[in-house]
A and B are shown apart, each in its own frame.
Chain A
């Protein structure tokens, strides 16, 4: 298994509170991603990073922010959680072989964080 650790694995919190999810990798891969998985929607990309301090928005980025201050960690923050952000969140990594944003390597996933917002 790829060395990806997501924390926490489960969290229950209240609407309006800030929440930060952490993804830690030991593979020294360049690319990191945050997805959410919801019934009927499959996986949807929230944000991704193509290097330290280099991030970009995905399909469902509203209400989320990310930070990547070092290669091994990618943080996802919900500034003020809402019930619609109740979901399972997956982190993924991939090895970039090209310049800039080129990346033709498969993504490997963590085990997910189940987040419930009441």
Chain B
């Protein structure tokens, strides 16, 4: 079955850039998503990218997509303590519901 892989933890200093990486398995995925989960809350959609794009930028967020390697990354510029959360990568293989990675816990050190 499909499997989305992410590293489990990332620690960065406030003001630095964070890069969260993800690999997915299904080349037919037309959209790839990034969600953020703060403690005690549900998942919040951060951004998504269509598979015919290489890059998408939205304020401090930059998403890079390498379809050949099935690699997706989320870069957060000028990381703040409020960015501390769990970040989930998700793919949609074909016409099925989203398949999520296990999430990367981002810790921002002041």
Contacts and interface: CB of A to CB of B under 8 A. Distances in A.
Interface of A: 31, 33, 40-43, 45, 48, 58-59, 90, 92, 98, 100-104, 106-112
A99 B100 CA distance: 24
Given A40-B102, A41-B102, A43-B88, A106 B97 contact: no
Contacts of A92: 43
B100 A104 contact: no
A106 B48 contact: yes
Nearest to B31: A104
Contacts, number: 46
Contacts of B33: 106
A104 B102 CA distance: 22
Nearest to B86: A42
Nearest to A43: B100
Contact of B45 (A41, A42, A108): A108
Contact of A106 (B30, B31, B41, B101): B31
